[in-house]
Chains A and B, each alone.
Chain A
Amino acid sequence: MDARLVTTHARIGPIPAPPRAVLPGLSPAWRRRLASLAWGLVSLGLFAGLWEGLWALDLVNPLLLPPPHLFLADIPGTLRYFDRSNRIGSVASGGGVTALLITMAWTTMRVFVGLSLGFVCGVLVGALVHYVRILRNLLLPTVLVLAPISPVAWLPVAIFVFGIGDKPAIFLVFITLFFTIVLSTGAQIESVPKTYIHVARIMGATGRQTFWRVVLPAILPSLFMTLRLNLFAAWMVVLIAETVGVGTGLGQITSMARSTFNAKLVFFTMAIVGLLGFLSDFGLRQIQRKMLWWVGPGGAR
C-alpha cells in the first residue's frame, strides 16, 4: 500500500530544468525587447523578401512596383525632390538629408499639434457636454451628426476657412480625433465606478476637485487608448491635407511623385511615412507608460 504510494510520487520524476536562456548576461526586460525587435525585423524582412522574390522572378514591373533595393538604392537622387524651405510652391532646391528631415518634421508637427488640440479640446468639450445639461441638449445632436463625416470631407471647408498652409492640415487632424474624444469622454465619465465618486464626496472633495483628482485620472487611460487608435488615421489624413491644402510636406512629395510617374519616390515616401507612424506610436506608448504608470502593460483597463 505504502510502496504503491511512493511509486506514484516517484513517477512524476525530477522537475525538468528550464531551457537555457539565450544571451545569459541580459535582464529579462532587455531580452524581451531584443526578441520583439528581432521579430519585427523578421516580419519586415519576409515582406520585403516576398516583394524582391516577385521582382527576381520577373513577376512585377520594376518601373511600377520597384522593390526595396531599387527605391532605396538611389537615395541621393531621391532626396533631390525634398525641399528645405517649407514654402508653398517653392521648387525643390538642394535637397539632401537635411531637407528630408525638415519635411518629415513639418508633417510630424502637423500631426502632433492637431492631435494635442483635438485631445485637449475633446476632453474639455466632452466633460462640459456631460455635466452641463443645457450644453448636452444643445451640442450633442450636432456632434452626433458631424462625427461620422470623414475628415477628408472637411478638407474644402478647412481651405475655405484657413486658406493654404499649415492650418488646414492641423485642422483635419484635429477633426479626426475631436468628435471621437468628445463622445468617448462622456461614455467614460459615465462608467467611472460610483464608489470612487462616493469616496471623494465623503472626504469632502468639491465638484471641481472630484473632476480633476478622481474623474480625469479614472478616464485618462481609455481616452489615451482612443488617441493611440486614432494616431494612424491622423497620419493618413495629414497626407491628404498636405497634397491639397498645404503645398509642402510628405503628402506634397507623394502627390508630385504620382504626377511625375516617379514610382521610386512614391515608395520611398511611403516607407518614410510608415516609419514615422511606427515611431510616433512607439513614442505615445512611452508617454502612456510614464504618465499613466498605474496601468499595466496590457494598455487601458
Chain B
Amino acid sequence: MTRPAVSIRTVSKRWMPEGRAPVQALADLDFEVAPGEFVVLLGPSGCGKSTLLYMIAGLEEVTGGEILADGDPVTGPSAERGLIFQDASLFPWLTIADNVAFGLAVQHVPPVKRRELAVEMLRRVGLGDMLDKKPDELSGGMRQRAACARALAMRPKVLMMDEPFAALDVQTRSRMQDFLLQIWRDSGASVLLVTHSIDEAISLADRVVVFTARPGRVKTIVPIDLPRPRPSRDPRYHAYRDLFTELLGAEVDRAFAEQEALAAR
C-alpha cells in the first residue's frame, strides 16, 4: 500500500489571542490525501480551512494531533509542499522569470541552470513570452499561472492553493480551472485546494472535504464520481450541487446565528 501524501491525524488548532478568550479554530480533523489525488476543502468562510493549509505547509503549528507528509511529521515549511496564495504574491522587484527561479536561487542553483528551468516552467504554464515582464504588467490570471510555475519549479509532492481563483473574473476562473487540471495531471502532485465555491469543488475535485462552521470539523467527505471534464448541464452535476448547497447552507446559517449572537453581546 502506498503511503498517503498527507495524513491529518486528529488535528486541532486553537488561537490564543493576547488578552482575549482563546478561539477554537479547528477540531478533530482526520483524513488523508493519496499521492496524486485532487482534494478540495469546502466550507463557509472563517471555518479555518486556510489555517489547515498553513499547518500542512508548516507555517502554522498544530495545537493538537499531528500532520504527516509522506510519512514524516511536518516540523516546518518545505519546498515539497508548495502553497499558492489568493493574491499570487509575486515579488514586484523581480521579473517573472526571476520570480519563478527564486526558490532555485535560494538553494544556490547556478544562474544558467535556474534560468533554463524557469523558462521551461513558464512555457508549461503558457507564459513563455512573458519572461522579462514585471508582475504588474500581467493580468490576474497570468500572475496566478506564474505563481503556479514558481511552486512547480520546486517539484513539490503536494501543491496547496488558498482560494487561488477567488479574485479572478468568471471567464478567467473557468479557464484557470482547466489549466489547473492539466498542471495537476502533468506534475503528478497531490493538490489540496481551498474554496468556498461549490462549482469549483465539483469541477475539480476527486474528493471534497466539507467543513462545518467554526470550530471547523470535517462534516463529511464526498467523492465526485464524474469523468472530467464535467459540464454543469450534466444532471449528476446538479445532484452534487444540490447536495453541497444543502450541506453548506446549514453551516452558513449556523455561522450567521453565531455572529449575530456575538454582535448582540
Whether B106 and A203, one on each chain, are in contact in the complex, defined by CB atoms closer than 8 angstroms, is yes
- Give the chain B neighbours of A201 by CB distance below 8 A: 59, 76-77
- Give 19 A-B pairs besides A198-B77, A202-B58, A204-B103 with Cβ atoms closer than 8 angstroms: A195-B85, A195-B87, A196-B91, A198-B57, A198-B83, A199-B83, A199-B91, A199-B150, A202-B78, A202-B79, A202-B82, A203-B102, A203-B107, A204-B106, A209-B106, A213-B105, A217-B93, A294-B93, A294-B94
* CB of B89 within 8 Å of the partner chain: yes
**Contact residue among B58, B134, B154 (Cβ-Cβ distance under 8 Å from A203):** B154
**Contact residue among A195, A204, A294 (Cβ-Cβ distance under 8 Å from B92):** A294
Least CB distance from A26 to B in Å reads 25
Give the contact-size bracket for chain A: 20 to 34
Q: Which residues of A contact B (CB under 8 A)?
A: 193, 195-196, 198-205, 209, 213-214, 217-218, 292, 294-296, 301
A202 to B161, CA, bound (A): 13
In the complex formed, the residue of A with least CB distance to B76 is A201
Whether B93 and A202, one on each chain, are in contact in the complex, defined by CB atoms closer than 8 angstroms, is no
A213 to B107, CA, bound (A): 13
- Give the chain B neighbours of A195 by CB distance below 8 A: 85, 87, 89
* CB of B81 within 8 Å of the partner chain: yes
Least CB distance from A78 to B in Å reads 47
Whether B136 and A294, one on each chain, are in contact in the complex, defined by CB atoms closer than 8 angstroms, is yes
Q: Which 6 pairs of residues, A with B, have the shortest CB-CB distance?
A: A203-B103, A195-B89, A217-B93, A205-B106, A201-B77, A202-B77
Whether A217 and B107, one on each chain, are in contact in the complex, defined by CB atoms closer than 8 angstroms, is no
In the complex formed, the residue of A with least CB distance to B151 is A202
- Give the chain A neighbours of B107 by CB distance below 8 A: 203-204
- Give the chain A neighbours of B91 by CB distance below 8 A: 196, 199, 214, 217-218
A195 to B87, CA, bound (A): 9
**Contact residue among B89, B93, B150 (Cβ-Cβ distance under 8 Å from A193):** B89
A296 to B93, CA, bound (A): 11
Interface 0/1 of B69-103, CB less than 8 Å to A: 00000001111011101010101111000000011
- Give the chain A neighbours of B57 by CB distance below 8 A: 198, 202
A218 to B102, CA, bound (A): 15
- Give the chain A neighbours of B154 by CB distance below 8 A: 203
Given A203-B79, A203-B154, A294-B134, is A198 in contact with B59 using a C-beta cutoff of 8 Å?
Answer: yes
What are 18 A-B contacts defined by CB distance under 8 Å?
A198-B57, A198-B85, A198-B89, A199-B89, A199-B102, A202-B77, A202-B78, A202-B82, A203-B103, A203-B106, A204-B77, A204-B107, A209-B106, A213-B102, A218-B91, A294-B136, A295-B92, A296-B136
In the complex formed, the residue of A with least CB distance to B104 is A203
Least CB distance from B70 to A in Å reads 16
A129 to B57, CA, bound (A): 29
- Give the chain B neighbours of A292 by CB distance below 8 A: 93
Least CB distance from A204 to B in Å reads 5
Least CB distance from A194 to B in Å reads 9
A214 to B105, CA, bound (A): 12
Whether A196 and B89, one on each chain, are in contact in the complex, defined by CB atoms closer than 8 angstroms, is yes
- Give the chain B neighbours of A193 by CB distance below 8 A: 89
- Give the chain B neighbours of A202 by CB distance below 8 A: 57-59, 77-79, 81-83, 103
- Give the chain A neighbours of B59 by CB distance below 8 A: 198, 201-202
A214 to B94, CA, bound (A): 10
Most B C-beta atoms less than 10 A away, residue of A200, A204, A213: A204
Whether A200 and B83, one on each chain, are in contact in the complex, defined by CB atoms closer than 8 angstroms, is no
A294 to B76, CA, bound (A): 32
Least CB distance from B80 to A in Å reads 9
A193 to B59, CA, bound (A): 15
- Give the chain A neighbours of B105 by CB distance below 8 A: 213
In the complex formed, the residue of B with least CB distance to A214 is B91
Whether A200 and B106, one on each chain, are in contact in the complex, defined by CB atoms closer than 8 angstroms, is yes
